[in-house]
Chain A
Amino acid sequence: MRFLFKTSYEQDIRLFRDRTDAFWYGLLALLVLALPFAIDEYYVGETSWVFIYALCGLSLMVLVGYTGLVSLGHAAFLGIGAYAHAYFLQLGLPWVISMVLAVAITTAAGFVVGLPALRMTGIYLAIATLAFAVIIQEVFSRWESVTHGFAGMPVGKPIIFGISFDDDRSFYYLCLFFLLIALWLTRNLLRAPTGRAWIAIRDSEIAAQSMGVYLAIYKSFSFAYSAGLMGLAGALFAHKIAYLAPDIFTILLSIQFLLLVIVGGLGSLHGAVFGAIFVALLPPLIAILRDSIPDSLASFAAATGIPPIGSLGAAIGAFLAKPGVEAGIFGLILVLVILLEPLGIYGRWLKIKLFFSTFPMYKKATFKRQKSYMRSERLR
Chain B
Amino acid sequence: MSLFTAENLSVSFGGIRAVDGVSFDVDNGEVFTIIGPNGAGKTTIFNLVSRIYNPTGGRLMFDGADITAVAPHKIAALGIARTFQNIELFEHATLLQNLLLARHAHKRSGFFSELLFLPSVRRMEIEHRAAVEHVIDFLDLQQYRDSLIVNLPYGVRKVTELARALCTNPKLLLLDEPSSGLNVEETEDMAFWIQDIKTVLGITVLMVEHDMTLVSAVSDRVLALNYGKPLAIGTPRQVQNHPDVARAYLGG
Instruction: Report which A residues bind B (CB closer than 8 A).
Output: 9-10, 12-13, 185, 188-189, 191-194, 196-197, 199-200, 202-204, 206-215, 221, 267, 369-370, 372, 374-377, 379
Contacts and interface: CB of A to CB of B under 8 A. Distances in A.
B84 A206 contact: yes
A199 B90 contact: yes
B101 A208 contact: yes
Nearest to B106: A212
A233 B92 CA distance: 29
Contacts of A185: 115-116
Contacts of B100: 196
A210 B86 contact: no
A256 B168 CA distance: 41
Contacts of B103: 193
Contact of B52 (A9, A213, A377, A379): A379
Interface stretch (B15-23, B123-131, B243-251): B123-131
Given A191-B117, A194-B114, A374-B86, A211 B105 contact: yes
B104 A196 contact: yes
A301 B86 CA distance: 66
B86 A9 contact: no
A204 B89 contact: yes
B150 A209 contact: no
B189 interface: no
Nearest to A203: B90
B221 interface: no
Contacts of B130: 9
Chain B at the A interface: SS class: helix
Contact of B73 (A188, A213, A375): A213
B146 to A, nearest CB: 9
Contacts of B50: 210
Contact of A189 (B115, B129, B150): B115
A214 B73 contact: yes
Given A10-B126, A214-B73, A189 B114 contact: yes
Contacts of B93: 196, 199-200, 203
Contacts of A204: 88-91
B74 interface: yes
Interface in B89-144: 89-93, 96-97, 100-105, 107, 109, 111, 114-117, 121-122, 125-126, 129-130, 133
Contact of A376 (B71, B74, B75, B84): B84
Contacts of B56: none
B164 A199 contact: no
Nearest to B98: A200
Contacts of A10: 122, 126
A95 B207 CA distance: 61
A45 B136 CA distance: 51
B82 interface: yes
B81 interface: yes
Contacts of B114: 188-189, 192-194
B187 interface: no
B58 interface: no
Contacts of B154: 374
A343 to B, nearest CB: 11
Contacts of B122: 10, 13
B77 interface: yes
Given A9-B129, A13-B126, A211-B168, 12 more contacts: A12-B129, A188-B117, A194-B114, A196-B100, A203-B92, A212-B73, A212-B75, A212-B77, A212-B105, A214-B71, A215-B73, A376-B87
B238 interface: no
Contact of B92 (A13, A188, A267, A370): A267
A159 B84 CA distance: 57
